[in-house]
Amino acid sequence: MAVRSLIGKLVVAVLTLFVVTAGGVGVALTSGIVTVGQPTVENVQTDWGAVTAKTTEIRTDIAVNNPSSVGVPKVADLDYEVGMNEVTVATGTVENLGLPSGKSTVSMTTRMDNRKIPAWWASHINNGEKTTVSIRPSISVPMFSKDLPAEKRAFETDLLSAFDSSKARTMTAGNREILRVTKTEASWGHATTETTPLNVNATVENPTSGEVVFSELGYTITMNNVTVADGTTDGEVHVEPGRTTSFGIDSTFDNGKLPEWWQSHIEHGEKTTMDVQFYAVVHENGTTRKVGLPFMSKRIVFTTDVLGGGKTTTKVVPRNEAQSFAPPELQSVQSEWVVPDEGNTGVRTHATVTNPNEPGSVFAEHLSVDAKYRVLMNDVPLVDGKTTRDIGPGKTDINLTGEITDEKIQRWWATHVNNGEKTDRVVERDVTVDAGFARLPVGGKADRGTIRTDMLGPVDSESSQTFSVAGRPIGRIEDIRADWGHATMDETPIEASATVKNDRSESVRVVEIGSRITMNGIVLSDESTAKNVEISPHSETTIQDTVALDNAKLGPWWKTHLRRGEESTLEVSYYVVVEYRGHTQRIALDSLNYRKTVRTNVLGNASA
């Protein structure tokens, strides 16, 4: 379970507890006038915020649905601690926590104390590179407080595996082979908040006719270019001719550098390049020179996903090969809509990447590609797809898909209407090659555009129409208007009005107003409202009506919209029923009866 899931579950547990324990709810239940259901999390969005050497922000937005007709008042305080292997790295408080009936969003910001990173790191290493993330909450309301059960989940890394090898390798000095390596392995010592020992051992054979002596061994270890270890070891290593021996290098991390590393780790998307370089001073035949130990040196790229699912990756990548590296190229990116008969719509993206490095070269086989495709509509993430895969020499086809839920369509639609029928569209097509020593973008500049519609545009407030009842001219209908109300996830109001003028010497009465609104045949609203509006002789009255479009119908409409190439036919019809001298007449409001084509261009460059 991810941290974002833990936080969401925590909030719902708190609110549910409060619903159950709130005194007023019991009275409402026994009276039978309300319904109570358990609040549920609809969506949890957790992201890293600002990060410095001292603190790291965790920002969380939790969409909660409270089916109860009773809202939770804002009188609860939530205190919680975030622990990593029992090291408290963050504390937070949400004051005046409440929950209205229906759908709402709870936002919270937590700041990690980066000074706790060395203590956590030591516990992570001493625990076999395993960490348990826990959230320990407590809730307090007037006259009541309670500690809630801690939520936990675990993740682990495997940095030592990069050093473990039984593959035979050779070491040269100049053009001469001086050592044959048969095995390498590594182990952690006992870490403290100040230091982390790392021991790397090698088993080697000396194929030469003379003794090889390492008089001094040194090391430099960097993590995202932050030097966490740098020094030399005491004692000589002797490898006699024709013999096999083992030796080790003991290095020591300065854990005081870890907060700086942590900042870079978060800024790089929870990714670290750990460069472990060992070297030796060789005395042979009266000469001395400094020689790198590539069989012990490693460049390790590891990732974490602390706010996601806890998934980690570790891989060894080539070192010191930048001069021979030819960056891959993005040849093409194509995206298309996926519109199934059942289930959610989505976007399928196909990218072709060419790796020009020659087969057999180190970079022909040790590259990976991160591909992302994201569509933002008024900052609503409509589509968010990503994939990672290794690539070989030549062309590689990459496919990824992103799903669009009905909830996302409803959320975007509400922002579009509330923004004056305007959507700022951003399509991000990012393809990045990970070469170990660098991450190289090979294409994918964001495409930005604006989508504008004018669905209420045909309504003409300057128009005027005459009307009759039972063949008798009665008067005129003028100043017809229609405007959007404030759209929510559930509904989109249309506020309509018209002025009815009575030119007769007797009163007339408006007894009904009705409307029907469809998009591509999907009925968004079809309703009539009884009225009793009397219009005196030779006078006028303005009648008003609000129609709520059912946003739950937007999902089915969206499928038809995509199947027609992002095109929809909007049909609007309004009418009033007028009574005069015992006769009634249904009168269509001309300015509110129209058909309009609505187009979008979500995946392309043009506005619609």
Please identify, among 155, 186, 210, the residue that sits at the C-terminal boundary of a domain.
Answer: 155
Residues 22 and 137 in one domain: yes
- pTM of the entire structure? 0.57
Give yes or no for residue 528 having a pLDDT over 90: yes
Which one, of 125, 123, 128, 47, lies nearest residue 83 by Cα? 123
Q: Which CATH number goes with the domain that contains 511? A: 2.60.40.10
In this prediction, residue 406 carries a pLDDT of 92
Please identify, among 135, 155, 175, the residue that sits at the C-terminal boundary of a domain.
Answer: 155
In this prediction, residue 324 carries a pLDDT of 47
Which domain does 86 fall in, by range? Answer: 3-155
CA–CA dist 342, 480 (Å, integer):
41
Residues 191 and 313 in one domain: yes
Residues 274 and 195 in one domain: yes
Residues 167 and 313 in one domain: yes
Residues 185 and 311 in one domain: yes
Residues 516 and 590 in one domain: yes
Residue 540 lies in a domain: yes
Number of folded domains that form the chain: 4
Residue 95 lies in a domain: yes
Q: How many CB atoms lie within 10 A of CB 505?
A: 7
In this prediction, residue 90 carries a pLDDT of 85
**pLDDT for 264-309, tens place per residue?**
999 988 899 999 888 776 555 566 555 677 777 888 888 888 876 6
In this prediction, residue 29 carries a pLDDT of 30
Residues 351 and 283 in one domain: no
Residue 606 lies in a domain: no
Sheet holding 539-550, edge to edge: 464-469, 472-484, 491-502, 539-550
Give yes or no for residue 78 having a pLDDT over 80: no
Residue 604 lies in a domain: no
**8 Å CB contact between 118 and 256:** yes
CA dihedral over 418, 421, 424, 425, signed as positive or negative: positive
In this prediction, residue 272 carries a pLDDT of 92
Residue 494 lies in a domain: yes
Residue 124 lies in a domain: yes
Most confident of 228-232, 238-242, 538-542: 538-542
Cα angle 41, 45, 50 (rounded to 5 degrees) comes to 145
Residues 274 and 365 in one domain: no
More confident call, 389 vs 550: 550
Residue 459 lies in a domain: no
Confidence of residue 138 (pLDDT cuts 50, 70, 90): confident
Most confident of 168-177, 367-376, 520-529: 520-529
